[in-house]
Each structure stands twice: as C-alpha cells, then as structure tokens.
Structure 1
Amino acid sequence: MEEGKNNNVSPPFLRINPSKILPLRILEFLLHLLAIGISFSFLSMFLIQYIGSTQIPISSFTPPNSSSLPCFMKSPSPPSLMHDMNETELFWRASMVHLINQYPFPRTKKIAFMFLTKGSLPMEPLWERFFNGHHELYSIYIHSSPSYQHNFTSSSIFYKRKIPSQTVEWGTMSMCDAERRLLANALLDVSNEWFILLSESCIPIQNFSSVYGSLSRSNLSFMGSFDDPRKSGRGRYSLNMRPEIDITQWRKGSQWFEVERRLAVHMISDSIYYQKFKEFCIPPCYADEHYFQTMMSIKFPHLLANRTITWIDWSRGGAHPKTFRKKDIKAKLFEWIREEHGCDLVGGLCFLFARKFAPDTLDPLLQISSQVFGF
C-alpha cells in the first residue's frame, strides 16, 4: 500500500511551488511591455526622421502674398471686408502692436481712406479719377447704415469695401464708435500706415501723388484740437470727467482727421477716456467734436499738428458748415482756398481735402478736376 502511494507522487524536479507562479507571470508581462516600448521607440525615431526631412527650413520665409500667411499679413486686402468677428474680437486683433519695427517681408505703405456715410457715395466718379493708377498705395473702407445696400459695379474701387457697420446717431458716442470701427478694420491690414476719415460730401483737392507725398514727409498727425472757452467748448465739459480729464485738458476740434498707425492703435484701444465720454458726453455735448481731440491731446500732444487737412467753410456761423452747390464750383474757389490758407505744415500744402459738396456739384467738379486738381 505504501509503495502504491509513492507511485502517485511527482519527482522532486517536477514539483512547482504555486507561490512562485504569479511573480513569473508578472515578469513575463513586463518583458512583453518592454519589447513593445522598444519597438515603438524605433518606429517613432523613423517617423520623426521622415517627417522632419519634409519640413521647410526655419531660415526660409514665405513671400507676403502667399496663401500660407495670416489674412492680416496679406497685401493687398481681400476684396470683401465682411467678417464674423464681434467687436471685442475685432478691437483685440486690431490693437496688437508689433514691437519690432522692421517687417519680415516687403511692405509698401498705404493710405487707408475711411468713408463714414449714411448711404451712397455720390462723388464716386471723382474719387475714381483721384485713385486711378495708384492701386498699390491705398485701401478703402466704408461705414454706412447697416440696412443700406451699395450698388457699386464689380469694376468700382468701392466694390465690397463696406465693413460690418452699426446704426449711427449724429452727435452721440455712436459716431465715435463708427470711427473706431473703421480704424480697427483698417488696422487689420499691416500695410496701412496713414488713416484718413472722410464723409460722402468730401472731395480731394490735390492729386494722389501730392497727398501721398505730403503725408509720407510729415512726422505729425492732423487732428484739430484746441481749447475753446466758449459755451460750445468748455461749456460742454462735465465735472464727472474728473479726475481723468480736467477742464483745462478739455479740447474741441473737427471730426475729420488723419492719423498715422501708432496713434490709430491707441484710438481704438482706449478704455479709460472712452467710458467717461460714453457716460457723460451727451448732447449738447457732441462726442465726435471732443473725444479723440481731448484724449489724443492729453496722451500725444507732441505728435499732433492741432489742425485738420480737410478744409471746411464755417464762415456763415451755426452748428453746420456751408454746403457748396453746383453754382459755387469755380476754379477761383479752390485757388482762394490755396492762396488764403497756404502753409507749410503738410509739405507745402495746407489742405488736401474739402467739404461739404452737394451731389449736384459732381459734374462741374469733373469738368475742372484735370485743370484745378491735377487728376
């Protein structure tokens, strides 16, 4: 019986201790993981080597007109200016300042012509003549009533140049909002160096070359800003403007300005003075005559010429300037403007534009434009 029992017992070299099975399986699992890891490492090294060999060298640079550049770096601007950015996004993008002044691509400086209008641009044919042959040196932006649909033909320089607009009420902060909107959209094009605000009743009284040359030679921006002690000046000041704005800093001036790029950035990024004007400058305080004029005079007085380059006839008095009609258009009118107001603040020219011209002045203006304006 004892001998039978021994027949069922395994030899010592075949006996396995159950307590050692689990560690062996763990070791086997870890070895598998190690093998997978090594394989993956070799595969990754191969992929990196392959992909890296297809990359563009860091030292190379894509030309500025390439489709690989961001939209705001392309020149010229895309034909359509409509976008889906809200105003917070728009002003944030437009307020970015390049700390390195040297651009990493060829940049031809342009003038941004910004038209603030309710609807049509009746002087379109005159502006067409003015811009003819200079398409690389300017860009156009239109802020009109949101509901107004322009009927420019596809060959027009104004075709698809309207920006996302909002309703504007005369004399209120909404007027300055529209101006800031124009500036912000124009700032998205890094080629724009000078920014001119115009209306539908403005006309050029110099040819394009003279305008471009005058602005490029000047180191000042042109914005009317003066201390007016009258009721129509200091009389519009509110004590609520303090402490940011003292009455001695309160300024008044023409709405129509020309500023260079660095000042345009500050005009759309300001929040301190903007809030004060939005809350406390309400009619008979007209924000478009005081906001930019006061803010820029406080922050950048040394960069302002304290005058406008858009001639306006205020001689009749009242809240609105004279509107010129068809019968007023004579060569001697513009000769008088040049002789009576000659100065050397803009490269020998005192005024580059003029207003207000009614739609019926278009034909006589076209008749004298070559002789009088040089275009």
Structure 2
Amino acid sequence: MTTKNLKQQQQQHVLPMVVAGMAAAATPACPVRTKLLLCAALGFAIGVVATVSLLLSSASPYTASLHAHGGTLAGLFMPASAAANAVRDRQQEPPAAPRPPRPEQGPPAVPAMIRRPRSSPEPPPAATSATTAPPPPTPAGVGGASRGSGIGIGGGDDDDKELMALAASAPRAVPAGAAPKVAFLFLTRWDLPMAPLWDKFFHGHRGRYNVYVHTDPAFNGSEPPETSAFHRRRIPSKEVKWGRVSMVEAERRLLAHALLDDPSNARFVLLSESHVPLFDFPTVHSYLVNSTEVFLESYDQPGATGRGRYNRRMSPVVTAAQWRKGSQWFDLDRGLATDVVADRVYFPVFRRFCSRGCYADEHYLPTLLHIRRPAAAANRSLTWVDWSRGGPHPARFHRVQVTVDFLRWLRSGTTCTYNGRTTDVCFLFARKFLPNSLTRFLRFAPKVMGFG
C-alpha cells in the first residue's frame, strides 16, 4: 500500500473519532444553553411589547419622559421614523396652560373680564369727519337711535312711516300753562349762509323757539358753534329734488320731528337757506302765537298752472273741485301740523299721481287745508317773494339791491288783515337773497329791523 493511500485511511479513521468526541463533549451542555437562550429571547420580546404599550398609552408617564429627553429614550425603544415623529410633535405642541383647581361645591366661577395689557396701544377711534355734526338728543316718544347728525329717527321708508305714526299721536295742543314756542323749520340744500343774521335774530330769546334743519344727506359742512341757534339741530334727511314729491316728504319730516321734540311748539314756520327775517324776534313770535288763523295760500286757479295740473286718477279721493294751489312757504298751528303727519288718505294719492308737471309742494297742503280746515286759512303767505319777472323761479337779490329803503318797503309796503283787522305788517320774512347780501343785512338790521 502506498504512502498516499495510508494517509487517506488514517484521516478517514481520525475524523469520525474527532467528530464523535466533540459531540460527546457537547452533549451534556446543550439543553442548558438552549433554555437560557429561549428565556432571554422571551424576556426581550416581553420587554419590547411592554415598552411599546407604554409609549402608545396617552396616560403613560413614560411618554412625557421620552419627550422630555428630546427623543433620546424614544430612539432606544422605537423605530427611527417613529422617534422623529414624536420629537416633531413635541416641538409643535404648544405648552399646556396650568389647569385651575376645580371648586368642590357651588356654581362655576364667572370668568373675569379680559383686560388689554398696558403695554399694547389702544385701538384708534373710528374715523369720523371733523365736519360731521353730532346728533342732538332724541326727542321724547321717538323709538330709535338717531342716525348721522340728526334728531330722532329717519332713513328708510319704514323709518318715515314709524316717525309719522309717532308724530300723529303727539298732543294736538300746547299743554296748559306752558309758554308757546315757534318751531323754525329750515328746508335747505346745503349750508345756511344767512345763519349769522338768524343768530342775531334769535339771540336772547332761548326757550321761546326751536330750530330744525333738513339738508341734503350728502352735506358734510362744519357744525355751527355751541353759541349758535343751529348747533346740533339737523334732523335725519333724504335727498330732495325740486318739483318732486320728495319736497313734501321733507316738509312732513320736519313737522314730525318738531311735534315730537317739544310739546310746547305751537306754530311751525317753513323757511329756506335764502330766507331773512324782516322784524325782530318779539314781533315775529307775538304775531304767530297770537294769530287765530294759519298762514297758507289756498286758492282755485284756472289754467295750465292751476287746474291743469290735476290728475283725474286722483278721484274720488281728491276731486277736481277740491284741487287748490298755493305757495310752499307756510305757517301752521299744532293741530293742522298733526293733521299733515297723520294723513294716510290724501298724501298717498299725491305721491302716486302728482308727477310730470304736477308740483306737489304747491298743491298738497293747499288742497289738504281746503278739505280739512278751510275756515282756518288766512289765504296768504308770510314770506315775500318777487314773481314779477316770470319763469318757474322767483327773482334773486344781490348785495347792491339790499338797501334801507327796500327793507322798509318790505316791512310795511302792503296792507292785509290780521285777526280781522287791517295792518301793514303782512310779511315777516323775505327770500331769495344771495349769500353776498349778508353783510348788508348785518349792517342794516340794527337800524331797520330792530335787532343785532
């Protein structure tokens, strides 16, 4: 047998013996190690499950501990992505406010008012026009807050209806023992250029008059000073167009506010921004409150500018025989003023059918007076106007036309009747005077008209 074959046989006998020896040596220790490994694996698995359960539980105190350590502990027991999410949630989560102790008994405490820190600036006030007039006090009996720079209520059609209904229930006579006052109703387009003259007229007679101003709602002129009779005397207004029924609506609005504002208002005089007084206040006041008639034109005029403006669709509420015409500028007593604001019969007819050549301000009040109280009318106006030049508008007067002789003629140049007696005091007011004539009136008023 060769050497090579001998070595192969020796190796074949040795290897089985080595393997058998190793197996014999390892046989006794195998069961102990296997048990140890199984126990360790089982313990590790139980620990992992317990840790995950604790992390997922919202009530577990370990969750907060993991977040508090910036995710270090979370990284040991959670996958990398889960740990990153936990850290991100902790960073985005706002700090929890301390929970106040819960009272044991009684109702829940009322939360205290939240106060603005002193260091934070106060919010700026709402922007208001420096020229917007503040509203005067709301008259008694008017339900609703004033709007803009007005007295009482106003605005939409519903507000006007409410206003008229309230004014219709106002007393028809001045309370017994009260001193009668005169309500001066100024129906204007914009400002009052003659206000300085009127202030001199009213000066020293507070408590014997009231002023009410209806101007264009877009007007934002400066508020008169507190010493002025026009201070805070605007009422809620609407746009007024010449020749439209809106003119009568404005007149009714003025009357309603004056009726509600003061029960002592006994007479109501309609004026414009171009009106001027021709006498001093005591003369005008006495003339008005002692009159037994109201001063309003109401006559039947044939032709296109009189009967020709009647609309047959007004019948049978207003017939052609009842149709009358007159000047817009009036003086009414309290009873007739109440009739005007309470009218729900004739005014709706005028509002619907008096248009396109029918001027409601020249026909509504004259017709209403003729129907309701024909015997109460003096059938004349207290306002002097020059219609001699013709046209739809009266003549206007400039500064150079205002002279002492002209004013004296206006005061006593005609004759009329007053309480059944003849007098030369027929006109208490005059119009239309341009603003540039104010300086002349201020100069001549003390000498001719007795005031200023």
For residue 217 of structure 2, what is the amino acid of its counterpart?
A: P
2:239 is the counterpart of 1:134: no
For residue 275 of structure 1, what is the amino acid of its counterpart?
A: P
Map of 1:27 onto structure 2:
none
1:162 aligns with one of 234, 244, 255: 234
Structure 1 residues 296 and 184, CA, compared in 2 at 3 Å: closer, same or farther?
A: same
Which residues in structure 2 correspond to 1:1-375 (within 5 Å)?
71-72=139-140, 81-84=150-153, 86-98=159-171, 103=175, 106-151=177-222, 152-188=224-260, 189-345=262-418, 348=423, 349-375=425-451
* Deviations, residues 126-149 of structure 1 (Å, cap 9, x unaligned): 001100110110000000011112
Alignment partners' CA distance in 1, 2:190 and 2:434: 14
For residue 401 of structure 2, what is the amino acid of its counterpart?
A: D
Q: Is the 8 A contact 2:267 2:331 kept in 1?
A: yes
Alignment partners' CA distance in 2, 1:82 and 1:110: 18
Partner of 2:418, secondary structure, is coil
Alignment partners' CA distance in 1, 2:379 and 2:174: 29
For residue 111 of structure 1, what is the amino acid of its counterpart?
A: V
* Deviations, residues 341-366 of structure 1 (Å, cap 9, x unaligned): 12232783201000000001000111
For residue 136 of structure 1, what is the amino acid of its counterpart?
A: G
Q: Is the 8 A contact 2:171 2:263 kept in 1?
A: no
Q: Percent identity?
A: 43
For residue 374 of structure 1, what is the amino acid of its counterpart?
A: G
Partner of 1:314, secondary structure, is coil
Unaligned runs of 5+ in 1: 1-69
Q: Which has the higher contact order (CA 8 A, sep 6+)?
A: 1
Alignment partners' CA distance in 1, 2:174 and 2:362: 35
Unaligned runs of 5+ in 2: 1-137
Q: Is the 8 A contact 1:72 1:190 kept in 2?
A: no
Alignment partners' CA distance in 2, 1:102 and 1:118: 31
Q: Is the 8 A contact 1:183 1:268 kept in 2?
A: yes
Alignment partners' CA distance in 2, 1:203 and 1:231: 32
Alignment partners' CA distance in 2, 1:190 and 1:83: 15
Partner of 1:344, secondary structure, is strand
Q: Is the 8 A contact 1:205 1:373 kept in 2?
A: yes
Alignment partners' CA distance in 2, 1:206 and 1:154: 24
Q: Is the 8 A contact 1:171 1:288 kept in 2?
A: yes
Alignment partners' CA distance in 1, 2:189 and 2:450: 29
TM, length-normalised to structure 1: 0.76
Partner of 2:416, secondary structure, is coil
Map of 1:25 onto structure 2:
none
Q: Is the 8 A contact 2:174 2:265 kept in 1?
A: no
1:283 Cα deviation (Å)?
Answer: 2.5
* Deviations, residues 310-342 of structure 1 (Å, cap 9, x unaligned): 111111111110101111001111222234312
Q: Is the 8 A contact 2:170 2:259 kept in 1?
A: no
Alignment partners' CA distance in 2, 1:239 and 1:119: 36
For residue 338 of structure 1, what is the amino acid of its counterpart?
A: R
Alignment partners' CA distance in 1, 2:311 and 2:357: 11
1:71 Cα deviation (Å)?
Answer: 4.9
For residue 170 of structure 1, what is the amino acid of its counterpart?
A: W
1:72 Cα deviation (Å)?
Answer: 2.6
Q: Is the 8 A contact 1:274 1:291 kept in 2?
A: yes
Map of 2:56 onto structure 1:
none
Q: Is the 8 A contact 2:150 2:235 kept in 1?
A: yes
Map of 1:19 onto structure 2:
none
Q: Is the 8 A contact 2:275 2:431 kept in 1?
A: yes
Alignment partners' CA distance in 2, 1:194 and 1:103: 14
Q: Is the 8 A contact 2:139 2:152 kept in 1?
A: no
Alignment partners' CA distance in 2, 1:143 and 1:319: 23
Alignment partners' CA distance in 1, 2:174 and 2:393: 44
For residue 241 of structure 2, what is the amino acid of its counterpart?
A: E
For residue 129 of structure 1, what is the amino acid of its counterpart?
A: K
TM, length-normalised to structure 2: 0.64
